[in-house]
Amino acid sequence: MADKQQEIIFQLRFQEKMLMKQAEREEKAANKERGIAKRHLAKGERNFAQLHATNSVRSSQHAQFLRENAARVSQMVADLRMAEVQAKMAKTLNTAVKEMEKYIGKMDLEKIAMMTLKYDQIRGKTQEAHQILAPADADLEANCESLLNDLDNEVMTESLMNAPVIPTSAVPAQAQTNHAVAQPS
């Protein structure tokens, strides 16, 4: 069937080209008649000019008609190709559906359900083991933030210890007397 359709497409393409060539010939004939009509009109021979002008218009209209037919044939070719593609796609989809139905028929749904339950049980045990082995706050970002806060506190404490003590209030009187007593010796 594909060969027959390809042959039809080939014939239609050939007809389209022939129609386009004929349209070009008609357009040339229309231009020729237009030129002849112009020459007769320049000579003052209005009747001959009218005859050739009529022929020119007819040739132009015929060329337009041939171009329209060529366009219709071209659209038919496009439609045939689209139909061929759609038929192939439908055939492919039909084959795929049949294969899927075949495999679904072979599947043991009880066995699949058992395997799914077994998978869920193993997955649950794995998650429990991970929770036991992992620290309580295993969240990386939280641990990182906590470490940064601890380090920040340590830096602040060290900077406060190394900073010179600047008195902020007056020295008490007793401290001044202790200083004064120590000096005379």
Q: Residue 184: pLDDT above 60? A: no
60's tokens: 């132009």
126's tokens: 């794995």
- Report field, pTM of the whole predicted structure over 0.95: no
When pLDDT is averaged across residues 96-120 and rounded to a whole number, the result is: 84
Q: Which of 181, 4, 5 is nearest to 79 (CA)?
A: 5
Contact indicator for 78, 16 with CB cutoff of 8 Å: no
More confident residue, 177 or 70: 70
Amino acid present at 178: N
Contact indicator for 34, 8 with CB cutoff of 8 Å: no
**Residue whose token pair is 């602040």:** 156
| Most confident among 52-56, 100-104, 146-150, 168-172 (mean pLDDT) | 52-56
